[in-house]
Amino acid sequence: MGRIVTLTASQTPGLDAVLARHPCEESQLIPLLQDIQDHVGYISAESMRAAATHLNIPESSVYGVVTFYSQFYLTRQGRHKVKVCQGTACHVRGAVEIIRAVTARLGIKPGETTRDFEFSVERVACFGSCALAPVMVVNEKVYGNVTPEMAIRILDELT
């Protein structure tokens, strides 16, 4: 309605196939976004536009949902996702040191991805495994009682 929208063919491989799996109903928004994230790795601006068009809802609504849930990434993530717990228990038992070691090793800040898209680092609130504090999760695998040295070793094993 605002400006004349220019049509561009989808640049994201696989996106059209993902869209085709979901009926054009507003209630499909979250499942569709999860599916996109699983296949594309993150939710690009193009994916949001495509999801909005597919479900026939405003793009702003898609953006609102994507930014509301921390499970959705707006940028392309690394192949390995490193999550370091910042919860109270982990904090008390030295989570800061872990974060420091990990970010120093990879040369990025929490919330960032390495240039080669190998690693992304995130700070996360309590994983619910406080007994194992400090906790670090790499690609869904939980490591407990982590020390800075151990953290670096885990990363090095992945490269």
Partner 1 sequence: MSVELTFTIDGVSLTAQKGDTVLNAAKAAGIYIPHLCFSEGLESYGACRLCIVEIDDVRGMPTSCSTQVKEGMVVHNDVASVNRVRRMVCEMLIADHPLVCLSCSANMNCRLQDVAAFLGIKGSRLRRMVRKPIVDDSNPFYTRDLSKCILCGLCTRSCHELRGVGAIEIAGRGFESRIAAPGDGPVRDSTCTSCGECVDRCPVNALWAKHETLPPTATVRTTCGYCGCGCGIELGTRGGKIVRVRGDRSAPSNRGSLCVKGRFGLDFVSAPDRLTTPLIKRNGVFKEATWEEALDLVADKLTSIRDQHGADALAGLSSAKCTNEENYVFQKFFRAGLGTNNVDHCARLCHASTVAGLARAFGSGAMTNPQIEFEHADCIFVTGSNTTEAHPITAISIIKAVVEHGATLIVADPRRIDLTRYATLHIRQRSGTDVALFNAMIHVIITEGLGDDAFIQGRTEGFEALKACVADCTPEWAEPITGIPADKIREAARLYAAADRGSIAYSMGITQHTTGTDNVLALANLAMVTGNVGRASTGVNPLRGQNNVQGACDLGALPNKYPGYQDVEAPDIRKRFEAAWKTPLSPTNGLTVTEIVSAAGSGAIRGLYVMGENPMLSDPNLNHVEQALKDVEFLCVQDIFMTETAELADVVLPAASFAEKDGTFTNTDRRVQRVRTAVPKPGEARDDWAILCDIATRTGYPMAYASPSEILDEIASVSPIYGGLSFDRIASEGLQWPCPDRDHPGTTFLHEGEFKRGKGKFHATPFKVAAEEPDTDYPFLLTTGRYLYHWHTRTMTSRTKGLEEICPPTPIEIHPDDAALAGIEHGDIIEVSSRRGTIEANAHVTDRSPRGTVFMAFHFHEGAANRLTIDAVDPIAKIPEFKVCAVRISTAATTKKTDNA
Binding mask 112-151 for ligand FES (x = CB under 6 A): --------------xxxxx--x-x----------------
Q: Is the peptide bond before 148 cis (omega within 30 degrees of 0)?
A: no
Strands 80-85 and 119-124: parallel
Interaction site with partner 1 (CB under 8 A): 1-7, 45, 48-49, 56-64, 67-68
3-state class of 113 per DSSP?
Answer: strand
Q: Which does 108 bind (CB under 5 to 8 A by kind): partner 1, ligand FES, none?
A: none
Q: Which does 3 bind (CB under 5 to 8 A by kind): ligand FES, partner 1, none?
A: partner 1
By C-beta, is 85 or 121 nearer to ligand FES?
85
- By the 8 A CB rule, do 5 and 11 touch? no
Q: Considering only residues 87-106, where is the footprint of ligand FES by CB under 6 A? A: 87-90
End-to-end CA distance of the chain: 49
CA pair distance 146, 94, nearest whole angstrom: 9
Minimum separation from the CB atom of position 70 to partner 1 (A): 8
CA pair distance 28, 39, nearest whole angstrom: 16
Q: Which stretch binds ligand FES (CB under 6 A): 16-24, 51-59, 81-89, 109-117?
A: 81-89
Residue closest to ligand FES, measured at CB: 87
What backbone phi and psi angles, to 5 degrees, belong to 105?
-65, -45
Q: What number of CA atoms fall less than 13 Å from residue 143's CA on the CB side?
A: 19
Minimum separation from the CB atom of position 55 to partner 1 (A): 11
Site residues (vs ligand FES, CB under 6 A):
85, 87-90, 126-130, 133, 135
